[in-house]
Structure 1
Amino acid sequence: MDWTEIAAFATGALCVYLVVRQHVGNFAVGMANNALFIWLFVGAGLYADAGLQVVYLGLAVFGWWCWVRGGERGTGVVVHQPTATALVACVTAVAVVTAALQWVLLTYTDSTVAGWDAVTTALSLVAQFMLSRKWIASWWFWIVADLIYIPLYAHKGLWLTSALYVLFLGLCVAGLVQWRRAERDLEARTATTEPVAA
């Protein structure tokens, strides 16, 4: 455990808390967190996770724009469920990315946890894209990823990071509950402002 892991713990916890609260500042904090985790994961031999952080930087810019300007009226997206087609596409993307990353890791690196590194990377990548669109189902992808990350990081001796993902797991459950409530509140407000048909 060193200062990098401690700083990653702090920024990671703050970032997820801000996401749960739907605060757009999560993207700036998340980008700082990504930089710290690149350093940490390369040192631990978690190459796919390190590469994932680079992709996260790009997705953070995309998500930031979506949350601020990406809605139907250019005022930002609101929490909602993805369509069934979009959800199937996301699950398919996880399977394809996992297979491709596992092959790359087994072929070109000395990774000792290629399969687990690949599946958590794929889940996290797709979940981050879903979060950028404020799709409520993104929380389920994060929950599955966290349930794998916790023992994976413990296995690699990253105890504080493993503990962070226990915290993330709790925040993901809270996020799922809060975003569902926000969706219901939005639907209720929309229903009361729509004109009643004659």
Structure 2
Amino acid sequence: MSIDTPLSLLGLSTTPLELVSFLLSALTVWLNIRQNHWAWLFSILASLLYAAVFADARLYGDAGLQFVFVAVSVWGWRQWLRGGEAQRPLQVSRLQARGWIWMAIAWGLGFLALSWFLHRYTDTDVPHMDGFLTAGSLVGQFLLSRKKIENWLVWIAVDVLYVGLYVYKHLTLTAVLYALFVVMAAAGWRSWQRSARQCGDVAPA
């Protein structure tokens, strides 16, 4: 059996490659919720595998995004370990109002650039949705790397839309994964809120 051989799992069509990617991604988010820095290692592995899954489905924005995730994961790993004051481990914090503005601007500009590129230079049939969600994922990953609580809100919004996109692309198991991500992101939001209160970070930081 090759890594892209179709198979059925609990009535869902998938491939061994997508299944392994699914498991690594779920493990990554679970470790993120627990603020375990080893999450970044599994994030790198899952991103490399999902790049192949998405390229095969002609989701080129998502495929390219995985390589950006690899680079950001290396940076995020270092941030979590030494990104705090005096190079201590980074603590959970919140965005200031200015941070929200920059987040929205970055998402909007990323969407315009990516959707134009995907529409003009690739054969994807969903350039605008792919571009919008790719840009949002980059924003969410950056906020996660800096341990900003708001990363979970971004992921909730992005993952809900990804469920629909992956159902449309017949990536059924990945659609289930992203539905699970919505639930896990909500759990992450609550968990990091508690962590911020314990650290005394009750105001934007």
Q: What TM-score bracket applies, with the shorter chain setting the length?
A: over 0.9
Q: Secondary structure at the match of 1:187?
A: coil
Q: Percent identity?
A: 38
The alpha carbon displacement at 1:83 in A equals: 1.5
Alpha-carbon separation, structure 2, partners of 1:142 and 1:73: 30
Q: For residue 19 of structure 1, what is the amino acid of its counterpart?
A: N
Question: In 2, Cα distance between the equivalents of 1:116 and 1:17?
Answer: 27
Aligned position for 2:57: 44
1:76-87 mapped onto 2 (5 Å cutoff): 76-87=89-100
How far apart are the structure 1 equivalents of 2:71 and 2:89? 18
Report the equivalent of 2:172: 159
- Cα distance, 1:87 vs. partner? 1.7
Which amino acid in 1 is paired with 2:56? G
Report the residue type matching 1:148 in the other structure: L
Q: How does 1:22-171 map to 2 (within 5 A)?
A: 22-171=35-184
Q: Give the 3-state SS of the residue equivalent to 2:85 in structure 1.
A: coil
Counterpart-to-counterpart distance in 1, 2:40 and 2:199: 23
> Aligned equivalents of 2:101 and 2:150: distance in 1?
11
Greater percentage in helix: 1
Cα distance in 2 for partners of 1:35, 1:101 equals 20
The residue identity in structure 1 corresponding to 2:36 is H
Q: Give how far 1:132 is off.
A: 0.4
Q: Report the Cα distance in structure 2 between the residues aligned to 1:114 and 1:186, rounded to whole angstroms.
A: 42
Unmatched segments (≥5 aa) in structure 2: 1-13
CA distance in 2, matches of 1:70, 1:15: 20
Aligned-pair distance for 1:75?
1.0
**CA deviation after TM superposition for structure 1 residue 34, in Å:** 0.4
* More divergent stretch after superposition (107-116 vs 179-188): 179-188
Deviation at 1:91, TM superposition (A): 1.0
Gaps of 5+ in 1: 189-198
- One-letter amino acid of the structure 2 residue matched with residue 64 of structure 1: W
SS of the residue corresponding to residue 109 of structure 2 reads helix
Kindly indicate whether residue 40 of structure 2 is the aligned counterpart of residue 17 of structure 1.
no
Task: Name the residue aligned to 1:181.
Answer: 194
**What TM-score do you get using the length of structure 1 for normalisation?**
0.93
One-letter code aligned to 1:111? T
Distance between the aligned counterparts of 2:58 and 2:89, measured in 1? 38
Give 1:86 shift: 1.5
- Number of aligned pairs? 188
* Mean Cα deviation higher: 80-89 or 159-168: 80-89
Shift of 1:107: 0.5
How far has the Cα of 1:82 moved from its partner? 1.4
CA distance in 1, matches of 2:100, 2:63: 26
Could you list the runs of 4 or more consecutive aligned residues of structure 1 that deviate by over 6 angstroms after TM superposition?
Answer: none
- Alignment correspondent of 1:191: none
Deviation of residue 8 (structure 1)?
0.7
